[in-house]
Amino acid sequence: MDDFVAQLAISNPDLAAVEALIREADVFRWAYDSLGADVYSARPYIEQSVRYGNVFYLLPDRNILGRMLSLRGTGVNDPTLPLPQESRVAAGILAFAAVTGIRLDPWNAILEAPPRTIEVRQNELYRLRILWALHPQIFVDIALGRRGKVTADEVDAGAGTVQVPSSFDDERPANWDRDYVAALKIAEIAVRAWPGRPGPAGMEALLRWMYQDYAFTSPAIAYASLGLGRQPSKGMFKGLHTRDAELVLAGARNAAWDMSLLRTWSTRVRKAQESREFYVLCSADIAVLECAKDFTTLAGAGPTATNALRARFKRDWANDGEHLLRVYEDLIATRTTDKTRAVNLVAAHENCDVLARSLEEAIRRELAKGSAAGT
């Protein structure tokens, strides 16, 4: 590894400092055993790439991607003004990826941005490619607080080494619509319980709704269990406290993107053994990082998945977790044979638009009712 690092002009002390920076930030999640316990050590990535031909990808969320793009400056570098910690961590991730040879899979994160033209998204991808092409020492120095943003001259030099994207797939990830419907239902349950907490009854109501009217989806179950549970992560379902319907709906869209990222990561993980392509989830969102714990196992099937769900429910619901697991298992046992189940008559994915509009209106009505009662 030392020779490989030397070729990139990164000293071992600098690499160790960068590893320590991103390890402290704890923004990676890994679902394989091959890297061992420390996903923030460069050595296993490099060794596996050289010995076995493994290819590693970084799957960032929108927060991480935005912070990477913000490293691009327009003026003269001012070394007396180190960037905020979150920007330094983003620079550390770029430096770490360059040293290890990790590639970037930014599609989910680029598409998550507010509605934009294809040209704007192409430009964002181009700007990201420029950063990816720069010498890693630039990002090492930013990460370690030795300097400020990437300068205009450095950007111009990097631009000469990459091509402008000729096309861009502007389609949302598969199943995003399903995740949005589930996020709306979770938000509706939370809105109806406000200012209290939905409690185990709210989670059970979600499971029964999935059974009767929709479908069981692993991202929604994991996200709802954390979001409705005893100690939800800060920032889940943004806008709920405002009682503003549009902000609540925006929070549901954000939750759907979180679920989509988890789903994409899980899908990539399951294909890894065949493709030799391994994915590292990278997120600054505490809820996503928490949901990612054993998520790829939960998204599978059989006893292993059941055990993962039991662990998830126990963390989020303590003694009520076993009851919720029994409810889930009872529903799963009859989900394909129950002729009264609405979703067995009309496929859930064919009804997403109708369900989404219905849930959006239900949230608006509930919030309007609460506003009227408070006046």
190 and 108 assigned to the same domain: no
Residue 186 burial class via C-beta count within 10 angstroms: exposed 0-12, middle 13-18, buried 19 and up = buried
Helices (H), 163-215: 176-193, 199-213
55 and 123 assigned to the same domain: yes
Domain-terminating residue out of 127, 159, 191: 159
The answer to whether position 280 is within a domain reads no
Residue 90 near residue 104, CB atoms below 8 Å: no
Residue 48 near residue 34, CB atoms below 8 Å: yes
63 and 193 assigned to the same domain: no
196 and 125 assigned to the same domain: no
255 and 188 assigned to the same domain: yes
224 and 303 assigned to the same domain: yes
The answer to whether position 207 is within a domain reads yes
What Å distances lie between residue 185 and 214, 215, 229, 303, 314, CA to CA?
10, 12, 15, 28, 22
Residue 296's pLDDT is what? 77
Domain-terminating residue out of 104, 124, 159: 159
Residue 2's pLDDT is what? 41
- Classify residue 149 by its DSSP letter: S
Residue 195's pLDDT is what? 85
The answer to whether position 342 is within a domain reads yes
The answer to whether position 282 is within a domain reads no
Domain-terminating residue out of 97, 127, 159: 159
The answer to whether position 166 is within a domain reads no
328 and 188 assigned to the same domain: yes
C-alpha 366/C-alpha 194 separation (Å) is 10
138 and 230 assigned to the same domain: no
pTM score, whole prediction: 0.89
Record the tokens describing residue 201, joined without a space. 């009854």
Q: Which of 42, 57, 50 is nearest to 5 (CA)?
A: 42
Domain containing 144 equals 2-159
Residue 77's pLDDT is what? 53
98 and 217 assigned to the same domain: no
The answer to whether position 128 is within a domain reads yes
| Mean pLDDT, 10 residues at a time, the chain of 375 residues | 48 96 96 74 90 93 95 64 90 95 92 79 90 93 93 88 74 85 95 90 96 87 92 79 90 94 90 84 94 78 82 94 95 83 59 90 91 56
Residue 81's pLDDT is what? 67
Domain count, the chain: 2
150 and 213 assigned to the same domain: no
131 and 216 assigned to the same domain: no
Residue 261 near residue 108, CB atoms below 8 Å: yes
The answer to whether position 137 is within a domain reads yes
Residue 189's pLDDT is what? 95
Residue 161's pLDDT is what? 86
The answer to whether position 133 is within a domain reads yes
